Copies of this chain bind each other. A is one copy, B any other.
Amino acid sequence: MPDAFSFHLLATDGAARRGQIATPHGTVATPAFMPVGTQATVKGLAPEAVRTTGADIVLANTYHLMLRPGAERIAALGGLHRFMNWPHAILTDSGGFQVMSLSQLRKVENEAVAFRSHLDGTMVELSPERAIEIQHLLGSDIAMQLDECLKLPAARGELERAMRLSLGWAERSKRAFEQVPPGRALFGIVQGGDDPALRAESARVLVDIGFHGYAIGGLAVGEPQEAMLRTIGEVAPVLPADRPRYLMGVGTPEDLIEAVARGIDMFDCVLPTRNGRHGLAFTRFGPINLKNAHHADDPRPLDEASRCPAARDYSRAYLHHLVKANEMLGAILLTTVNLAYYQELMASMRAAIAAKQFDAFRNDVTTGWQRGDLALS
């Protein structure tokens, strides 16, 4: 019988945490990075290639999948794991964020949000209860409550309204989730923008309601990195130590390290995949933009010491050629390189926390980034 959801804290180093999540589809070592598989595919990679980069879990988007191919269709086909041929853990978001960011027309009321589909223009309604139902139909291991996420900067009144609305939806999500078979998890989402009092209230009420894990939403939405880190530093300590903490939609390699240093356990972000499709590689030497002409004659691989073959077996000259020629293989190789680098970074953080060497690790990694691209020449 598959495992029910659980979280075990294995080690700490300062605020940084090393843990393990069990799910019905395998375990997830934390701190964990979740590649984004928006439309039931991590763009450019077959699922076994995603697994080979080191991912234990991927994120899929409720908003996209409810519109196409449809949650009921995926359920009839055996659920999302089978549909996308990914037998490992899946977290689904609630759809709220994309309703706000992708839909041209939307109407947020207490009962539900109504929005115009970006695909065919039809009006669709998403309530907290329907968001849970969809995630149940998909068969996700970790479901998220529906919330309203605002861009920053935003007026305090707006932040407060959206935060309270999200708390009401959290309560309803929890009730709706009682209908879902046991073993799966539901996470609440702390909102409140960059306002410490609103964040504190949101976190407190969510903990009172009680969730399997807690996400911090509404960050990396336009605010400076400093404001993001300050908010994380304020919110993480008031969340229960025995539940995983998920920072949504973040971030750069530096963001990940700084957030882990403040007690975050889980991340998702499109940066490694999207930037890979646009010619940017994340490496030990910092980001490398393969579009630049100075790579055209460079026989060196991106990183000869990487455990990722895509970073070892192809010259920068070849990657530059593929990117300039707009060849799919350029996007595929750089997506692979970036996801492998992100996973390597998470694995190194986990090892550093277990060894109580997180600060030294953070200094080493930062020094490598600052040394830069030309260090090998």
Contact = CB atoms under 8 A, between A and B. Distances in A.
Given A73-B317, A315-B77, A318-B85, A41 B327 contact: yes
A285 B327 CA distance: 31
Interface string A282-315: 0000000000000011010000000000100111
Contacts of A296: 69, 73
Contact of A40 (B73, B313, B321): B321
5 contacts: A39-B325, A39-B327, A43-B328, A76-B297, A85-B318
Given A84-B318, A318-B83, A46 B329 contact: yes
B314 A73 contact: no
Number of copies: 2
9 closest pairs, A vs B, by CB? A41-B329, A44-B328, A69-B321, A39-B325, A41-B327, A85-B313, A77-B317, A83-B318, A77-B299
A331 interface: yes
Interface of A: 39-41, 43-46, 68-69, 73, 76-78, 83-85, 296-297, 299, 310, 313-315, 317-318, 320-322, 324-325, 327-329, 331-333
A31 to B, nearest CB: 27
Nearest to A322: B41
Given A39-B327, A332-B332, 20 more contacts: A41-B322, A41-B327, A41-B328, A43-B327, A43-B328, A43-B329, A45-B329, A68-B325, A69-B317, A69-B320, A69-B324, A73-B317, A76-B297, A77-B297, A77-B315, A77-B317, A83-B315, A83-B317, A85-B313, A85-B318
Contacts of A73: 296-297, 317
Contacts of A322: 39, 41
B77 A44 contact: no
Contacts of A45: 329
Contacts of A324: 68-69
Contacts of A331: 328
Contacts of A44: 328-329, 332
Contacts of A69: 296, 317, 320-321, 324
A34 to B, nearest CB: 18
* Residue of A320, A324, A329 ringed by the most chain B CB atoms within 10 A: A329
